[in-house]
Structure 1
Amino acid sequence: MKTPPPLRIGDLVIDPPILQAPMAGFTNAAFREIVRGFGGAGLLATEMVNARGFVWLDEHEAEHPDRLWGVAEEARPLAVQIWDNDPETMAKVGRRLAEEYRVSVVDINFGCPVRQVTEKAHSGSYLLREPKRMHAIISQLVKACAPTPVTAKIRLGCSPESVNCNEVAQVVEEAGAAALTVHGRTAKDMFRGNADWDRISEIKSHLRNIPLIGNGDLDSAEKVVAAFENYDVDGVMIARACLGKPWLFAQAAAALRGEPIPPDPTMQQQRDVMLNHYKLVVDRFGEEKGTVLMRKYACCYAQGKHGARFFRMHVAKVSSAEEFYAVVDEYFPVIDNRERVMS
């Protein structure tokens, strides 16, 4: 295939046009450092930040949210995703992110399907049923953040019976957003079934100038290539699949350049990556909290490997560095399945 051109979000050039999705509880500074070390991601993103919570912390002179850990110092480009349903609150936080933190992109979460965000806070994907409010949020953020570009991430709709992504896409562009990312499921679907890339692709004809970024089920370099070959998108966003494979971006970038896809690291190398990740988390949060936080990451690194179930069962209980290292030494596989077959 022909190598896709760089993605342009306002004046920002994203090359390669492969984005790392913002994922609550996962895409913190430690994870981003691991991804950045492998390369291949054109734009990295933080976890989504609760705008109202940010304002409260600021007013009470408390430390800024943990989800902004590392943002001020780390390499650019970097996007910060925020959520709430109040235009003024969102604009206030967006201005701080643009002026004080000097982030590359401020992204708005209109796609989160979690009940705590939707039904309790009337935010995230809940707002897909209120395009006028979406317009107000985006337009105020655009003014507050200028010249930093503002983008939006949505789902196809709130449910399969109320798909309105084409209408919402037009609202997003009219309000001044610089790009649109679409996850190919509805909020009701959560992560069940398959992402509908045909629906994502159809949205492109409803946009005049801003780029369309597709998201959903991209778990291999081959699927990233296929997304560009088969669908009308300007960029792609990789989400859950990268949590246990932070080298996936580098593999996808090579494939888009028409180069051989680099093999996965050996099991020993993957183990070393995980241990480095653990050290970064503990350095920031301390041994006790860092070890507990690392449990979910460790489970991701083991996913799909021989003996993963036993490793997950034991690592889910660790609460100290000593316990963590002992479980890794005993249960994390160091020989991959192909080597087992050959032996």
Structure 2
Amino acid sequence: MSSSDSRPWPPPPLRIGDLVVDPPILQAPMAGFTNAAFRQVVRDYGGAGLLATEMVNARGFVWLDENTAEHPDRLWGVAEEARPLAVQIWDNDPDTMAKVGLRLAEEYQVSVVDINFGCPVRQVTQKAHSGSYLLREPERMFKIISQLVKACAPTPVTAKIRLGCTRDNVNCNEVARVVEEAGAAALTVHGRTAQDMFTGNADWDRISEIKSHLRNIPLIGNGDLDSAEKVVAAFKNYNVDGVMIARACLGRPWLFAQAAAALRGDPIPPDPTMQQQRECMLNHYRLVVDRFGEEKGTVLMRKYACCYAQGKRGARHFRSHVAKVTTRDDFYRVVDEHFPINAQVD
């Protein structure tokens, strides 16, 4: 744990290349969740300095492009929505990544192109030899980053990693140096190994140690930030320039605003009332259905609805019902009849 005695407070804005991220609180890219509807809900509450898309399969993007198919749903809203906005991409081929990065920078004019070197999911690692699999190949990481940096300039390129592939092979310090030498503008570190998946606790001491291995680029810490108080503690106790909030925000998109207030030294806003949370979820549902239609949108919304209920009394009962909805009428009926009416945990 590092001393905060000499660190400025509140934390200054985060600089990623020429982009100023203020407050220095980022919304994590999360596959299957951080689509345009979710980003809009987060944006309405405020507090997130930089939002991000779901991770986009670069090879799949190229195939769709070459076959004149519609661009991936994971790029829904990107062209039109407010900035700043990061798009995260993944693959293991430098040329493919550079090709997609160029399109994102020039055609979509995104604020940041982020590279996923942290995903631990088997389909990405073992089957595609991408994501956190590449932590064992720093030389390939260097090629991917350096080619992407050249293709995207002046749009900044960033990288997100884990501590290593396994607990016996924690190589984040070496990887951090490679990321910076390749020209990346910032590094985000999730404080677990790929082997850990999402179990156990994030190791913020390990994250903090990485800072001494970076010369100029900012370090962003990620893992287990599920309250405004923990965000404040991350800045005060660890040597990071920014933080990234992930799973905790899925059912609590107001968490960013609470964290931003805490960093300013303002009173932390209370959670919305249960009625307000219910209205937030219904607004989210409307955004999803507007894009995907009633059938697909209703099915897609099931997982979000479960997140909104998580940790509340009656959540399990609500989940058992909402997991079966297929129509708008079904969804509204289940919400009316079963959505938790108070936030007290069972």
User: Under TM normalisation by the shorter chain, which class is it?
Assistant: over 0.9
User: Cα offset for 1:2?
Assistant: 1.8
The superposition leaves residues 161-195 of structure 1 with CA deviations (integer Å, 9 ceiling, x where unpaired) of 00000000000000000000000000000000000
Of 35, 38, 49, which aligns to 1:31? 38
- 1:241 is aligned to 248
Of 307, 315, 318, which aligns to 1:308? 315
> What is the TM-score of this pair, normalised by structure 2?
0.97
Where does structure 1 differ by over 6 angstroms across 4 or more consecutive aligned residues?
Answer: none
Of 161, 167, 179, which aligns to 1:160? 167
Q: Give yes or no for the alignment of 1:71 onto 2:71.
A: no
User: Cα offset for 1:242?
Assistant: 0.1
Distance 1:322 1:95 in 2: 43
Tell me if structure 2 keeps the 8 A contact 1:125–1:157: yes
The number of aligned residues is: 339
Distance 1:238 1:281 in 2: 22
User: Cα offset for 1:7?
Assistant: 0.1
SS in 1 for 2:220: strand
Counterpart code for 1:181: T
- 1:17 is aligned to 24
Tell me if structure 2 keeps the 8 A contact 1:19–1:236: yes
Counterpart code for 2:36: A
- 1:192 is aligned to 199
Of 123, 126, 130, which aligns to 2:130? 123
Residues 98-113 of structure 1: pairs in structure 2 closer than 5 A: 98-113=105-120
User: Cα offset for 1:335?
Assistant: 3.0
- 1:203 is aligned to 210
> What is the TM-score of this pair, normalised by structure 1?
0.98
User: Cα offset for 1:147?
Assistant: 0.1
- 2:4 is aligned to none
Tell me if structure 2 keeps the 8 A contact 1:268–1:335: no
- 1:48 is aligned to 55
Counterpart code for 2:314: G
Distance 1:247 1:53 in 2: 33
The superposition leaves residues 111-154 of structure 1 with CA deviations (integer Å, 9 ceiling, x where unpaired) of 00000000000000000000000000000000000000000000
SS in 1 for 2:303: helix
User: Cα offset for 1:10?
Assistant: 0.1
Counterpart code for 1:286: G
Distance 2:334 2:11 in 1: 43
Distance 1:299 1:61 in 2: 36
Q: Give yes or no for the alignment of 1:180 onto 2:187.
A: yes
Distance 2:291 2:12 in 1: 37
The superposition leaves residues 260-311 of structure 1 with CA deviations (integer Å, 9 ceiling, x where unpaired) of 0000000000000000000000000000000000000000000011100000
Distance 1:57 1:159 in 2: 34
- 1:143 is aligned to 150
Distance 2:66 2:9 in 1: 51
Distance 2:260 2:112 in 1: 21
Bigger shift: residues 317-326 or 75-84: 317-326
Tell me if structure 1 keeps the 8 A contact 2:311–2:343: no
Tell me if structure 1 keeps the 8 A contact 2:164–2:172: yes
Counterpart code for 2:175: V
User: Cα offset for 1:337?
Assistant: 2.7
Distance 1:236 1:206 in 2: 18
* Structure 1 unmatched ranges of 5 or more: none
User: Cα offset for 1:334?
Assistant: 2.5
Of 211, 227, 231, which aligns to 1:224? 231
SS in 1 for 2:326: coil
* Structure 2 unmatched ranges of 5 or more: 1-7
Q: Give yes or no for the alignment of 1:262 onto 2:269.
A: yes
SS in 1 for 2:168: helix
Counterpart code for 1:143: K
Distance 1:119 1:306 in 2: 39
Distance 1:324 1:225 in 2: 37
SS in 1 for 2:330: helix
The superposition leaves residues 59-81 of structure 1 with CA deviations (integer Å, 9 ceiling, x where unpaired) of 00000000000000000000000
Distance 2:343 2:129 in 1: 45
The superposition leaves residues 303-328 of structure 1 with CA deviations (integer Å, 9 ceiling, x where unpaired) of 01110000001100111111111100
Distance 1:190 1:80 in 2: 22
Distance 2:146 2:9 in 1: 36
Tell me if structure 2 keeps the 8 A contact 1:149–1:177: yes
- 2:92 is aligned to 85
Distance 1:336 1:298 in 2: 15
Distance 2:20 2:239 in 1: 19
Distance 1:84 1:322 in 2: 40
Tell me if structure 2 keeps the 8 A contact 1:271–1:334: no
User: Cα offset for 1:333?
Assistant: 1.6
Distance 1:155 1:337 in 2: 34
SS in 2 for 1:158: strand
